[in-house]
Structure 1
Amino acid sequence: MIVQLYLNKIEVLQDEESKTTFSDFDDLELCTQKIKGRNSDLSFTLDFLLNKQTQECTTVNTEVIKMFSDHLGLFFIGDQESENVCFANSIEVRPEYRQSLRLIDLLDYIYAFAHSYVFKESQKIILTSETDFFWKLVKIGSNLRKQLPDI
């Protein structure tokens, strides 16, 4: 399963130095510095994010999902495909008009943030309440995820 592999990649980020080079690095650093300056009290560690069920199975803490949903004012729809009658929740809609987030969006945000200097200094993922920063990091995280083998 793609999500499980992704969670495993995220889990090892706290223990290793990222050697990944990518074109969006400057955008990542700018966004994470702004998020840190505005929302540094809204944060969590990767240990809090990940619930290790077994050696092979890790899940996401539902409290983290609720924190993201509440602070962004977006409805969490999980992994399910929604029927986009009016395209309100479609990934094709510009980010500023989206009304929901999926688990993969949340993981892309976390994956991008975990590659920043802010994370390396604090070992914390800082939540933002600003959807424009959230969607920028989701895009960066998605691009990074696509570079990973096996995902």
Structure 2
Amino acid sequence: MAVSCSTKTTGGGATIYKVNPFHLADVNASKPVADPSIPFERNYRLHGAISPVERQARQGNYYNIFWKIRDRSQPVTVRFEYRQKNTGMTTKVVEQEVQPRRKNSTEFSFIGEDYVINGPVTSWRASIVRGSEVLVEYKSYLWE
């Protein structure tokens, strides 16, 4: 998983200030730790999954994008482009249209059958788009 990132802000008045990646790889392994806050993300993602099948369906990659924009009068599209281990250089795109607030968080998850067949996400790029204009982008180190 790529965790090193770079950010680019254009004249669009938008900023992506953090992308929080989380990889839930082995849903059955739980290592004991002294600090109870460390396993929080894992427990949060698995909350309510009782059977092994339900727990396995939540295995995969999660990306939480934290962003803000000056002009909140119109909706924007949060775009996430990514590549997975078993698909090579094939780029996939998912988008969410959002009516912006003062501070925003948008989550994308790649779990279940898609994760089992295509593997973990290897590189990605997140961007905020209004119309055809890319306002800001934030990408992993491995993104070309």
TM bucket, shorter chain: under 0.3
* TM-score normalized by the length of structure 1: 0.24
Query: In proportion to residue count, which structure has more helix?
Result: 1
The structure that has the greater radius of gyration is 2
Query: In proportion to residue count, which structure has more strand?
Result: 2
